[in-house]
Amino acid sequence: MFLNVGDYVVIVLGYMVLLIWIFFFVRGLKYNKMFEVLSEKDYPLKEIYGWGYGVMEMIHYSYRSKKDRKLRKEIEVLYGKKYADFYIRVAYAQKLSISSVVFVFAFVMYGISSSFMGLVLMLMMTGLVYYYFGDATNQKIRKRSNEMLSDFSDVVSKLALLTNAGMILKDAWIETAYTGDTNIYIEMQKTVDEMNNGASEVEAYFSFGNRCIIPEIKRFVSTITQGVTKGNAELVSMLQQQSKEVWQMKQALVKHKAEKAASQLMIPIFLMFIGILIMILVPIFGNLGV
């Protein structure tokens, strides 16, 4: 196969990229132990995260930009303030490491096929991978929020039923908190722990609303804190009204999910199209260079 000047330039550049990647991979091996605690499901290819972490350490990145502050707040919602420093580094290590593998693979593919179009498509894929994993924390927040909203109506209904039966809100909260194991119930259990550790009832509910970050739940917290100060009779009425509103919200949410599911089917179809396009174009452009 005849190689032109452009082929040599790309191949030499590819070897340089590969050598740089190997250098940082070897350098990052000493950091890999810190990523062992991560879940393989949430953090695929965690064995190479030392690569990205090593790069960030070498440039002495401070993790204090405006974007980083926003990311830190999202991480605090998911993992708590105590672990924010660790997970913000994990987020950068993940997106850099995985996208770097795709970037190197783009030059490997070019070396096999000599297809410039294939190289361009793979480099575009690198950008998509970087964006996807860069948005991973936000995706988890959205997934968590949707799950909470889905369970929210059941929680409010249980609280309304128990308080209507004569139980005070604190006891009704404790009773409800341990009837499930999804995110909203886990946050309710944390609220119980806070009250057991000396926090006032109102403070614990307020903290619950802040952790959940969802406007609907924050409004609910505002309602029950007002009810606590006004007395149980007033609270029962508030919770019953809230229960009706939340069930209407859930119906709207289910309808929205059904509409969204139809549109999301386009994403895998689009990705399949790109994959098929690469498989078709790479051999074609490879043969043109023969």
What type of residue sits at position 104?
V
Tell me the two tokens of residue 29.
Answer: 């091996």
Are residues 111 and 168 both part of a single domain? no
Residue pair 98/133 in contact (Cβ under 8 Å)? The answer is yes
Tell me the two tokens of residue 177.
Answer: 């908190």
**Which residues, 6+ apart, have CB-to-CB distance to 227 below 8 Å?**
169, 234, 235, 238, 239
Are residues 70 and 153 both part of a single domain? no
pTM for this entry = 0.74
Does some domain include residue 254?
A: yes
Report pLDDT digits (tens) over 62-72.
999 999 999 99
Residue pair 125/152 in contact (Cβ under 8 Å)? The answer is no
* Separation of alpha carbons 88 and 262, rounded Å: 33
Report pLDDT digits (tens) over 222-232.
888 887 777 66
Does some domain include residue 269?
A: no
Number of domains in the chain: 2
Are residues 34 and 124 both part of a single domain? yes
pLDDT at 1 over 60: no
pLDDT of residue 99: 95
Tell me the two tokens of residue 243.
Answer: 């229960």
Other C-beta atoms closer than 10 Å to the C-beta of 172 total: 22
Q: Which domain holds residue 54?
A: 12-134
Report pLDDT digits (tens) over 243-287.
777 766 666 666 656 556 556 666 667 777 777 777 676 666 656
Tell me the two tokens of residue 64.
Answer: 């204090």
Are residues 40 and 130 both part of a single domain? yes
Are residues 221 and 154 both part of a single domain? yes
pLDDT of residue 233: 64
Are residues 108 and 179 both part of a single domain? no
